[in-house]
């Protein structure tokens, strides 16, 4: 049986999934970049300098730096916007993986919006509790770095599990799976969280993360069906 990380990578590298990953960034960057260009949002330093040669160089350098910072800001804004858009692609990714690999497993409608919100609220309450406990260790050398990441890893793991699992299981099934398969889920999301610590990967690999978790949950669902 293939590893879920390998299966997720194979799906991620297909044209459809790469398009789901890149298109939001391309569209967002083109939109905000065009808006930036049309509105000419940059700092004009020309009025602060005289007409001398040195002043002209300073003005040119300052204008270049301002423009560069402007495009960096546009890239950051476009990235955030695209990341939000990609969050809505989870149902598409899950259904595609279901069609490709697990057509014999019945999807029973998933978790309803009200039940999902209830689970989400419970998760945020637990996150706050974990965060408060972790603060105690923030002042201890070596442990403080680990303590800093624990609550955010918990939130990452929980949200990803709810997001993907909510498309595959009913509310009752999802709650049972999150309890009984806790070790398997946490060991998988821990690796994914470590990947997000690499700069920019967390932004561009969301589709991959969803793919991995979808394979994991479909395998769990298949195992539960044979019990």
Q: Does 50 have pLDDT greater than 50? A: no
Confidence of residue 63 (pLDDT cuts 50, 70, 90): low
Q: Of 222, 219, 213, 227, nearest to 93 (Cα)? A: 213
Alpha helices in the chain (DSSP H): 4-12, 15-39, 53-86, 90-101, 113-135, 143-168, 171-180, 182-196, 201-204, 206-225
| Listed ranges 14-18, 82-86, 120-124, 146-150; the one with the highest mean pLDDT | 14-18
Q: Does 31 have pLDDT greater than 80? A: no
For the ranges 14-28, 66-80, 114-128, 157-171, which has the lowest average pLDDT?
Answer: 66-80
Domain coordinates in residue numbering, the chain: 4-225
pLDDT tens-place string over residues 176-202: 999 999 999 999 999 998 888 887 776
Q: Does 4 have pLDDT greater than 60? A: yes
More confidently predicted of 36 and 94: 94
Stated pTM of the model: 0.74
At residue 45, the pLDDT reads 45
At residue 49, the pLDDT reads 47
All residues at 6 or more sequence positions from 214 whose CB lies less than 8 Å from its CB, including other chains: 8, 93, 94, 97, 98, 164, 167, 168
């Amino acid at each position: 049986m293939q590893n879920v990380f390998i299966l997720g990578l194979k799906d991620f590298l297909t044209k459809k999934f790469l398009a789901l990953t890149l298109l939001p960034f391309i569209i967002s960057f083109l939109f905000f970049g065009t808006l930036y260009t049309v509105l000419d949002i940059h700092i004009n330093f020309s009025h602060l300098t005289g007409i001398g040669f040195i002043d002209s160089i300073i003005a040119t350098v300052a204008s270049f730096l301002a423009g560069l910072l402007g495009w960096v800001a546009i890239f950051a804004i476009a990235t955030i916007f695209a990341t939000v858009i990609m969050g809505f692609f989870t149902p598409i990714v899950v259904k595609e993986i279901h069609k490709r690999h697990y057509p014999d497993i019945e999807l029973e409608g998933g978790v309803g919006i009200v039940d999902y919100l209830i689970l989400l609220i419970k998760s945020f309450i637990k996150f706050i509790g974990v965060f408060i406990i972790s603060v105690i260790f923030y002042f201890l050398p070596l442990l403080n770095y680990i303590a800093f990441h624990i609550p955010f890893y918990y939130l990452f793991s929980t949200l990803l599990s709810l997001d993907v699992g909510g498309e595959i299981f009913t509310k009752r099934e999802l709650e049972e799976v999150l309890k009984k398969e806790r070790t398997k889920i946490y060991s998988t999301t821990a690796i994914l969280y470590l990947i997000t610590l690499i700069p920019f990967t967390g932004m561009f690999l969301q589709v991959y993360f969803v793919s991995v978790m979808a394979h994991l949950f479909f395998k769990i669902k298949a195992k539960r069906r044979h019990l």
